[in-house]
Structure 1
Amino acid sequence: MFLPTTIEEVKKLGWKELDVILVTGDAYVDHPSFGVALIGHYLVSKGFKVGIIAQPDWKSEKDITRLGRPKLFFGISAGNVDSMVSNYTASMKKRKIDEYSSGGIAGKRPDRAVIVYSNLVRRFFPDVPIVIGGLESSLRRFVHYDWWSDRIRKSILVDAKADLLVYGMGEKTVLEIAQILSRTRDIEKCKTIRGVVWWSSKKPIDCHELPSFDEICLDKTKYAESTRLQTILTDPFKNIVLCQRQDSRYIIQNPPQLPLEQEEIDNLYLLPFERKTHPFYEKIGYVPALDMIQFSITCVRGCFGSCSFCALTQHQTTHVVSRSVDSILEEVRILTKHPDFHGIITDVGGPTANMYGSSCFVRETKGQCEKFCLHPKSCVNAKTNHERYLELLDKVRTINGIKHVFVSSGIRHDLVLNDPHGDLFIKKLIDFTPGQLKLAPEHSHPKVLALMRKPSVELFLEFKEKFEKYAKNSGKQRYVVGYFIVAHPGEGKRENEHLRKFIEEKLNYHPQQIQIFTPSPGTVSTAMYYSEIDPFTKEKVFVERSLKLRNAAKANLMSLNSAR
């Protein structure tokens, strides 16, 4: 079932009006990997009437007003990706392609989309509550460094003039907001809900105060400290309220929403998604992002890898929730009946596929430790369950109508090597690899890897050697290829040459996946980039700021292709 996007579609469903209207910077793809579709279907399953306005024209009222006035609130998101990351390359150039737009056409979402959409809604519906959420809002919820303008910005909640901000995976939080507004029509009563950020002219009595906007503007080290505190204190089981002074008001973050129970996440992914783009886009062109994920399965949510450059820790926290085998198999059976399905499951995974079935009694009761689960080495309490994951994959491929099952999500090779039964997992993984297994060592230099919170490159080589040896022994051509990041804090010319030499001497392929580090809001690496210190050790960090030299770092590695 597609959620309605026009008044005519609303009427076809027999609805007289909508309770909630969701606005997104992505094209409308009815798939659980698209946050607005997931939230929309979840609310509908709970009895609310929801419509979607996708990629509205922000220069007129024609799109934002086409569904009329919602009874409860507008929910606004930039889409699956921060709009500035979506619109600009790591070289600060306008992107020519937007994979989340129909036909891949760029320019269909504005810069700082959440702010633009919120101001548009406020202009035409001044008294309707506005709730912002999604990645762009979540990672900009406190004072943050904005690389594109090279300055410190206040919370997006203030700039967007919204009533509430939902951070993290927002299903339960958004449902609570809808339920409270349905009963009371009073947005003030929603300010006690977990997983929301709000503002007040008064400082809460019981809260942990972060460095203020003024302090951060005067002292870059305060930004690093703010990021460190957010990282270690934002946890659903620590129950800590954070606040930050910005001029004469306080931005207040309630504790995160509790992770979904297994039954809740099972039901969520079995909602009636079409797994297609809305028919409106048929004449314009398909949405490229749908290609790889249309027939993928989410089996696990969350990641405790805590990589410095990754937004997951700040967005979702480190808590991992795995779906039941029965739920996943039911979803696979549903996929086999889809008219576009040809027997191939492109992925059974999540942020980190082999965290399926993992557990940690400390994290799940007291909250995340101040130490990292996987850095500098895997903690003994981070229990993996590769046997359970392999059992799941085997069961998926036995279902009638399934020809191939692949694992395309990233895996943590250090977790595999730390498992006494890891060799068995590597041998079996070969059967679920489509030619190349893509891993992310990210770099080779130990100093840069330490700042990234990534394992040593020797572990990557050990895993690669085992995987390719077992593949050869089984008569299959399967290879490991690596993703790398250049210009990350800590990388200068010497470290970049170290990576070039590593690729040239240790890897038997041309580098293809080379990414220039982008200082996107909210991450620990961005705090390093701005402050030039490691927030956790306070050690000085070299940062390359020149766009020319950042581009040269990538070119230095890519030149290996022409040299061979």
Structure 2
Amino acid sequence: MVGLFLPITMEEVQRRKWNKLDIIFVTGDAYIDHPSFGVALLGRLLESKGYKVGIIAQPVSVEDIKRLGRPNLFFGVTSGSVDSMVANYTASKKKRKSDDYTPGGINNRRPDRAVIQYVNMIKQAFKDVPIVVGGIEASLRRFAHYDWWSDKVRKSILVDSKADILVYGMGEHAVLEIAKRIETGKNLDGILGTVIWKSELDKLDESFEIVEIPPFEEVSQSKDAYNEMYKKIIHLTDPMKKIKIVQKQDTRYVIQYPPSMPLSSKELDELYLLPYERRVHPFYENLGRVKAIETVRFSITAVRGCFGNCSFCAITHHQGTHVTFRSEESILEEVKILTKMPDFRGTIVDVGGPTANMYGYTCTIREKNGQCLKSCMFPKVCKSIGREDSAIKFINLLQKIKSLPKVNHVFVGSGIRHDLILYSTDAQYIIENLVDYTSGQLKLAPEHAHPNVLKLMHKPSIELFLEFKKRFEEASRRKGQEKYVIGYFIVGHPGEGEKENLYLMEFVKKHLGYIPQQVQIFTPTPGTLSTTMYYTQKDPFTGEKIFVIKDEKTREKFKQRIIFQRRD
């Protein structure tokens, strides 16, 4: 029944016997009512708290924005599950033809810089309605940032869009607080997990320690200043550190309040058991296949956050390094819901999150004092990470899911950190069991083979990948199964030149025994350490100069060389 979805038309609003909506989300994705998609997640959460929520998906005109009328409280704006520039352009800056989040798979519904475009549409349609921006595009562009597509440092997306407030990271706490404040006529200052802008600073605000980072004018002209800005943002943005970060941009100040506290396991449990339809809204379904639902329809999110700190990954800056996980009871209850769906065929395709096998891991130092200056897993796994019972909790969870009625297969399709498994005192037990939860191929991401490139990526040595691969495939053979480890690789990352690329090619030829298809060219996305190194050609933490290939033809040659194992 269409009425069980969050409404996308006034007819659906009226069917619920509502006169007007409180909150309207505008998104660059088709509306998929599944907890893997932020708009559905936040929409259902707000609905559970009594708010009337609607969705405008993939608008192309001001008239689309007007479809649900003026909300009582605010518009929430996101580019969707992917940064719109990443969604619209390849690593060679060519326009993408396909979009997994659009009906029919044709890339014709998401504008470039979607957050800014959507905010402009809303302002044309409804003046003076508060606008909240969030999601991956807004979150990683909240300060001055290098924009690869225009090859320049841009201002905060909050300033460029002229929205009222920005929610960064996973926004459940912040969005609920914003709704309460607007509902009661209170201002939006001081909300954890948000960024605002002001014309002048509050001189007497003593709620947080205030740290000013180099202003936009400086970081847009000096790469050393840009590196200094990056270091401060990374070191000081943590829920355990009550620090307000301020950056001047022209005559205004962009002000970031400390992150929200991560959701507790209880909160995660409640969030993922809200009444999602777990499918594409019929309106969009009728327009064509939406591929994005297919990989997540029968998947389970078990863990949130990642302490891997890979240099090129946005998860560290969006979901954070504080890992939280759901209870076994909640996960098993969600599996039971999936088994009752009419098109369930007995397979849970994935149980995981950013890094599936971080399920069950905690760090008392991080939980008390925040993220250390050193990485949790580079150059090796920190001794503060548990080695014993933490490691097998994930395997125990998989076993319990597999024992449920109607569940024939359970697979792990999310990222696995093989170095974390090898670090465990139960490594062999985990590997032996992981074979049973692998569908043919276990996909791992060594990312490169050359030690200098891996160092800059903050990835473990390639020898650990080879050790894990050997032990996994030996365990598979002992079980009479043919299952293999498949590697993902990145070329064109800072630090890679001809020598390093040829090193990777030789590694593939010597050790893998197959031609890898999962090779991608590094794309400098806003906010990451790798992008900072790409732009400044320095390591911001050591000051070391870094060789960077910026020529697109050379980067494409690097990719083709690995795929075809060709020596030029």
TM-score (norm 2): 0.97
Match of residue 173 from structure 1:
174
| Structure 1 CA distance for aligned equivalents of residues 224 and 386 of structure 2 | 35
2:159 maps to which residue?
158
**What secondary structure does 1:466 align onto?**
helix
Query: Any conservation in 2 of the 1:320–1:355 contact (CA below 8 Å)?
Result: yes
Partner of 1:262: 265
Match of 2:132 in 1: 131
1:91 maps to which residue?
92
Partner of 2:496: 491
Q: How do residues 447-462 of structure 1 correspond to structure 2 at under 5 angstroms? A: 447-462=452-467
Contact kept, 8 Å, 1:234 with 1:317, in 2: the verdict is no
Match of 1:547 in 2: 552
32, 35, 38: which one pairs with 1:35? 38
Q: How does 1:71-86 map to 2 (within 5 A)?
A: 71-86=72-87
| Counterpart residue number, 1:198 | 196
CA displacement 1:490-537 (0-9 Å, x = unmatched) = 000000000000000011211110000000111010000000001111
1:12 aligns with 15
Which residue in 1 is equivalent to 2:275? 272
CA contact (8 A) 2:21 2:54 kept: yes
**Map 1:325-344 → 2, pairs under 5 A:** 325-344=328-347
What percentage of aligned pairs have identical amino acids?
Answer: 58
- SS of the residue corresponding to residue 362 of structure 1 reads helix
CA–CA distance in structure 1, aligned partners of residues 18 and 341 of structure 2: 27
Matches within 5 A, 1:342-381: 342-381=345-384
Q: Structure 1 CA distance, aligned partners of 2:168 and 2:285?
A: 33
Matched, 1:517 2:522: yes
Task: Quote the Cα distance in structure 2 between the aligned partners of 1:468 and 1:333.
Answer: 32
1:468 maps to what in 2? 473
Shift of 1:174: 0.1
Distance 1:295 1:266 in 2: 17
Is contact 1:359–1:382 with CA below 8 Å preserved after alignment?
yes
1:445 is aligned, of 431, 436, 450, to 450
Q: Residues of 2 paired with 1:279 and 1:203: CA distance?
A: 48
* CA–CA distance in structure 1, aligned partners of residues 349 and 184 of structure 2: 43
AA paired with 1:360?
C
User: 2 CA distance for matches of 1:132 and 1:457?
Assistant: 40
Aligned partner of 1:277: which letter? Answer: V
Equivalents in 1 of 2:502, 2:72: separation in Å?
59
Counterpart secondary structure, 1:426: helix
Cα distance in 2 between the residues matched to 1:415 and 1:203: 44
1:343-386 per-residue CA deviation (whole Å, 9 max, x = no partner) reads 11000100000000000000001100000000011101122512
In structure 1, the gaps of 5 or more residues are none
Which residue of structure 2 aligns with residue 395 of structure 1? 400
Q: How many Å separate the matches in 1 of 2:363 and 2:244?
A: 24
Give the conservation status (yes or no) of the 8 Å contact 1:216–1:222. Answer: yes
Where does 1:61-76 land on structure 2 (aligned, <5 Å)? 61-76=62-77
Contact 2:74 2:130 (8 Å CA) reproduced: yes
Give the superposition deviation at 1:301. 0.3
Give the Å deviation of 1:61.
2.2
Instruction: Look up the equivalent residue of 2:210 and give its one-letter code.
Output: C
How many angstroms apart in 2 are the aligned matches of 1:204 and 1:362?
33
Measure, in 2, the Cα distance between the counterparts of 1:542 and 1:44: 50
Q: Secondary structure of 1:289's match?
A: helix
Instruction: Give the SS at the match of 1:364.
Output: helix
Per-residue CA deviations over 1:52-89 (Å, capped at 9, x if unaligned) read: 000001xx322100000000000000000000000000
**Which amino acid letter does the alignment assign opposite residue 102 of structure 2?**
S
Q: CA RMSD in A?
A: 1.0
In structure 2, stretches of 5+ residues that fail to align are: 204-208
Structure 1 position 204, deviation (Å) = 4.7
The Cα shift of 1:223 comes to 1.3
How much does 1:316 deviate?
1.9
Structure 1 residue 13 displacement after superposition: 1.1
User: 1:98 deviation in Å?
Assistant: 0.4
Tell me which amino acid in the other structure corresponds to 2:229: S
Of 209, 212, 222 in structure 1, the residue corresponding to residue 212 of structure 2 is 209
Kindly provide the amino acid, as one letter, of the partner of residue 128 in structure 2: D
Residue aligning to 1:424: 429
Decide which of 428, 436, 440 is 2:441's aligned counterpart. 436
Residue equivalent to 1:481: 486
Quick check: 1:194–1:254 contact (8 Å CA) kept in 2? yes
1:406 to 407, 411, 415: 411
- Does structure 2 conserve the Cα–Cα contact (< 8 Å) formed by 1:511 and 1:557? yes
For residues 317 and 50 of structure 1, what CA distance do their matches in structure 2 show? Answer: 27
Instruction: Check whether the contact 1:302–1:317 (CA below 8 A) recurs between aligned residues.
Output: yes
- Cα distance, 1:226 vs structure 2: 1.2
Describe the SS at the equivalent of 1:440: strand
User: Matched residue pairs, number?
Assistant: 557
2:63 and 2:218 map into 1 onto residues whose CA distance is: 43
Distance 1:152 1:386 in 2: 42
Residue 223 of structure 1 is matched in structure 2 by 226
1:228/1:524 contact within 8 Å kept: no
* Residue 387 of structure 1, CA deviation: 1.3
Offset of residue 165 of structure 1: 0.1
1:390-432 CA-to-partner distances (Å, cap 9, x unmatched) read 1110010111111110000011000001001111000000000
Give, in whole Å, the separation in 2 of the partners of 1:316 and 1:238. Answer: 16
Write the letter of the residue equivalent to 2:197.
Answer: W
Aligned to 1:559: 564
2-structure distance, mates of 1:423, 1:277: 41
Matched AA of 1:196: T
Asked if the contact 2:62–2:124 (Cα under 8 Å) also holds between the matched residues in 1, the reply is: no
Give the conservation status (yes or no) of the 8 Å contact 1:231–1:313: no
Q: Decide which of 301, 309, 314 is 1:311's aligned counterpart.
A: 314
Corresponding residue of 2:247: 244
- 1:5 offset after TM fit, Å? 0.1
Contact 2:303 2:325 in 1 (8 A): yes
State the Cα distance separating 1:203 from its structure 2 match. Answer: 3.2
Structure 2 letter corresponding to 1:70: P
How far, CA to CA, are the matches of 1:426 and 1:217 in structure 2?
Answer: 48
Q: Letter of the aligned partner of 2:522 in structure 1?
A: F
